[in-house]
Amino acid sequence: MKKLLTGLLLPIILFGCATKEPSKTPDKIAADPNTFTNPIYPNGADPWLEYFQGNYYLTTTTWTSQLVMRKSPTLAGLATATPIHIWSESELERCCNFWAFEFHRLNTPKGYRWYVMYTSGIAENYDRQHLSVIESQGDDPLGPYTYKGSPMPDIWNIDGNYFEHNGELYLLWSQWVKDEQTIWISKMSNPWTVTGEKVMISRPQYEWEFSGMKVNEGPEIIKRNGKTYMVYSASFCNTPDYKLGLVELTGSDPLKPESWRKFDKPVFSKANGVYGPGHNGFFKSPDGSEDWLIYHGNASELEGCSSTRSLRAQKFTWNDDGTPNFGEPVAAGKPVVSPAGENGPLITKVQGTQVQLVSKADQQCVTNVNGKISSADCNSTQASWTLDYTTNGNYRLVNTAGLFLGQGGEQCAASPSADLNIAPWHNQLCQQWQLVPHDKGWLTLVNAQSKQELQFADCKEPALAVSGKKSVEDVPQFIEKKSACTLWRVQPLGEVAITSIQSGKAVTSAGAIAKAGNNIEQNEWNNNANQRWLLVNTQDGYYYIQSSVDAKLCMAIANKSIVPGSNVELAACGDIQTQWQVDFLNDGTVKLANRKSNLVLDLAHCGLANHTNFAQGQWLNSNCQKFQLKPIN
């Protein structure tokens, strides 16, 4: 059977191994903010999507050794959302050929956690594909993540999914039995461990499940009005006849095959120029009123299981008998009304970096008091904001009450004074901001609609120290001089994990005991103190990246070097080689530049393995030099 699988899947190997991440520039973006068009973007096989706290989060198959996640406040925005690698693998038994990622929010004794289940195996072929599970540190789908284990490491199993029923957790998956790919179920003792018997609950029975090969895979659960359905993908994905079938749980015990009733007709098939529609997921609209289908499809009968499969979404309804009615695939380019509530009004907590906006003029912070935005003492509990990237080069600033900082009237109505306001999200440019770097770590906050810089009318310029005829505050001649009232620094709050968007792994100080000279490297998240950092302001917009283990030790450049390739290590905080500029980039990531050398933190050889080293390097705008700051709960 392994030889049969390897031979049959050879066309996929030829296509899949050469797959690259899609360009961030989509072929077409809907101009109307109330609609989008399918496909949302190319190379979107095996999609899984969740709408959570103000953002859509999406994963799709990569074929590589990395898990990629995108987030956006709109479906259309996923086309240009920055691909973030939340996990990477170098262990040979599970390193390669990553497929079909699913992420689920489960309640645990530690609180809610996200569990990403994915299929991977060895580099040579697909004969040893099996499921693995990683767990998030907190409630952010972007992680950081820790590897937990494989439910069944010794058998071929793919397309894993969780099923919660009567207080019990079950695993659904697909595996081969002779010449049939079948769907199985088993109880779980935790999100990465199966216990007890393994039971087959669906196998190919009908002619429409036999195209190319006899296949049942991709089981997905949907519940409504007390009924439970399993939607699955049927026939071989390398044919245009890949489609969706339906099974209903009619008995009380899901471990009994007779508890599941299969429908004899497919529920979603090729139509309207869309071929092979399948491997689906479900999600609710932002306001919770609509049910949506996410799936991949092809634009030609000749396209199969390769990078040609593109991401598509559409709303579905329900039949009188309680079964889902998916209709037909929507034709490419046809405008689709966006999910209800996407354009607000929306009040929601948002996951992201917690920050304060500190003024250069008076060291006061942007604060929300009783709905009024003002400059006030940074010790105020209302001076905290979540910084959230919106995919188009802009950011949202969300307060603790789930309201968004904007300029002008609510919903961007004209306002002669262009007053700052706090309001529910309405998906308007006036509620989005550009973070524009200036000098010495300072930046301006520019409203995406008005193009005005954030400043307060009652702000007073500070007195400048003068040496001879030259102001100490002078900037280089090639940098525009700015009023201190328009300049801000973004102060991250609390302990953070610094994760590479190349590998998903965390910046870590090596060694069991924190001491000067310890190397800075990457490791998978293990929630140790040597992976926790505090960003402490020193002068202007510069920061110590201070060890959580010892406040006297900071990330630094070895030997105070300004040479590219010089190592990064722990050193006593103080000198400028231990200080860093934190730039929030227009793709939602962070660049860390050393104050002394002006070189950036750089992941050696763009490596994915644990213990890969960090040094300083010339800025190349690569994923190996970009990071995320993630709050640690």
Each residue of 250-298: pLDDT tens digit? Answer: 999 999 999 999 999 999 999 999 999 999 999 999 999 999 999 999 9
**Annotation says 46 is catalytic:** yes
pLDDT (0 to 100) of residue 411: 62
Give the rounded distance of the alpha carbon of 473 from its chain centre: 40
Using an 8 Å Cβ cutoff, are 511 and 523 in contact? no
pLDDT in tens, 30-58: 457 799 999 999 999 999 999 999 999 99
How distant is the alpha carbon of residue 598 from its chain centre?
Answer: 29
pLDDT at 33: 77
Segments of the chain scoring below 50 in pLDDT: 1-30, 416, 465-472
How much is the pLDDT for 417? 52
**How far is the C-alpha of 302 from the C-alpha of 276, rounded, in Å?**
10
- pLDDT score recorded for residue 409: 65
For the chain, what's the residue count?
A: 633
Domains observed in the chain? 2-337 (2.115.10.20), 353-458+476-490 (2.80.10.50), 495-631 (2.80.10.50)
Tell me whether strands 96-108 and 111-121 are parallel, antiparallel or unpaired.
Answer: antiparallel
Is 135 annotated as catalytic? no
User: Tell me, what's the pLDDT at 242?
Assistant: 98
Torsion of CA 568, 571, 575, 579, to 10 degrees: 50
Token duo for residue 70: 């995108």
Q: Which of 216, 229, 234 is nearest to 174 (CA)?
A: 216
Q: Are 220 and 280 in contact, with CB atoms under 8 Å apart?
A: yes
Catalytic pick from 50, 102, 209, 217? Answer: 217
pLDDT of residue 408: 81
Q: What is the pLDDT of residue 258?
A: 97
Residue ranges of E strands in 299-394: 310-318, 324-325, 335-337, 353-359, 365-369, 372-376, 385-389
**And the tokens for 454?**
């954030």
Find, among 47, 489, 631, 117, the residue nearest to 292 by Cα: 47
Give the number of other Cβ atoms within 10 Å of residue 41's Cβ: 25
* Pairing, β 542-547 against β 579-584: antiparallel
> Does this model's pTM top 0.75?
yes
pLDDT, tens digit, 9 for 90 and up, residues 392-431: 899 999 999 999 999 986 567 655 456 899 999 999 999 9
The position carrying tokens 């689920």 is: 104
- Residue 285: CA atoms inside 13 Å, Cβ hemisphere, count? 17
Longest dimension (CA), the chain: 91
At 622 the pLDDT is 97
Burial string for 601-619 (b: 16+ CB within 10 Å, else e) reads bbbeeebbbbebbbbbbee
